[in-house]
Amino acid sequence: MSTSATSDSSIAVVPGRPSWQQTMLRIRNPEKSIKFYTDNFGMTLLDKFDFPKYSFTLYFLTTLPEGEEYNLKPGTQEAHEYLWSMDGVALELTYNYDPQQNYHPGNQERDGFGHIAFNVEDVYDATDRLLKAGIEFKKKPDEGRMKGLAFAYDPDGYWVEIVQRPSGIIKNYFNLSQTMIRVKDPKKSLAFYRSLGMKLVRERHYGDFSNYFLASSSSSIPETLDPGSEEANHLVKSMFHPILELTHNHGTEKDESFQHYNGNEEGRQGFGHIGFLVDDVYKACDAIRSHGYGFRKEPDGGSMKGLAFAYDPDGYSVEIIKRGGIDFGDLKVT
């Protein structure tokens, strides 16, 4: 039941070279969460944005290639400039100044957000290392039906999948490899994200669900790649930068009343959004507006101008950010 008959090249891409740049999760304790991702998964804290006036701070982490040094100080203008021009995807951790706040990690009935993931050459060795570090697991590699992959819990209970990659391609022990969200109608979702410059790299179909793996336009993907091929499977697991995994539970597209929770509803907040860099937010939003799914925030809405949040077909928030950044009004480090 392939839904990828429409090729990436036949989709009109919004202007401004859109590229996937972030996935946002809300957290309770930045010290614990940053330590979890840097110490256990080798991520680098690139930047932070302090907004004491609004009682929140943003932290951005990513996987840098093994051996690449990062000497910029988070919170400085120099770090901001790097962040908003980076080639890759950052994990944005949002800390609201309320340590009593509990966040919803997803994976309950009708939840849309599923997990983030890291690739590694040996899932069993990685699991042993994480267990020795005191990390708790939802699923170890030999548990359940699907052998050879694992799910750990982060400090807020978000699921972190551990996926095996081919040997000898990536030098890092771990690399941030995916964000998974569930979609109601893959035809609509694939068209939307392809219009944001993403390419369908791999698709897999099972008895009652399907997975679609998309990569941002900055990734090198052969034009002739068959998303159902073993070549595509190998490529998806070999990529250094993350892919966006869309999971479709068959039949939801036929139920007019069905809707996933998007992570921003009262009492179910956890996952917040994914974000894309573009050259011109206004021109990009004019093109996105033609999809007809609406905006959570227009570019000139609210107090922060030049920044937008569009809705995708499932109501997930998609942040549209100017490449190079804008003056966000944060309290900068000097």
Amino acid at 23: T
Distance of alpha carbon 27 from alpha carbon 156, whole angstroms: 6
CA dihedral 105, 153, 236, 316 (to 10 degrees): 10
List helix spans (H) across 161-224: 186-195
Contacts for 173 with CB less than 8 Å, ≥ 6 apart: 42, 120, 121, 126
Q: Which CA distances in Å does 333 have to 51, 57, 74, 81, 169?
A: 12, 13, 8, 13, 37
Q: Is 253 a catalytic residue?
A: no
The H-or-E segment that residue 36 falls in is helix 30-41
Using the structure block, give the residue that is written with the tokens 């793996």: 213
Q: Which is the catalytic residue, given 161, 203, 245, 319? A: 161
> Radius of gyration over alpha carbons of the chain, in Å?
19
**Rounded to an integer, what is the distance from CA 59 to the centroid of its chain?**
14
Active site residues: 161
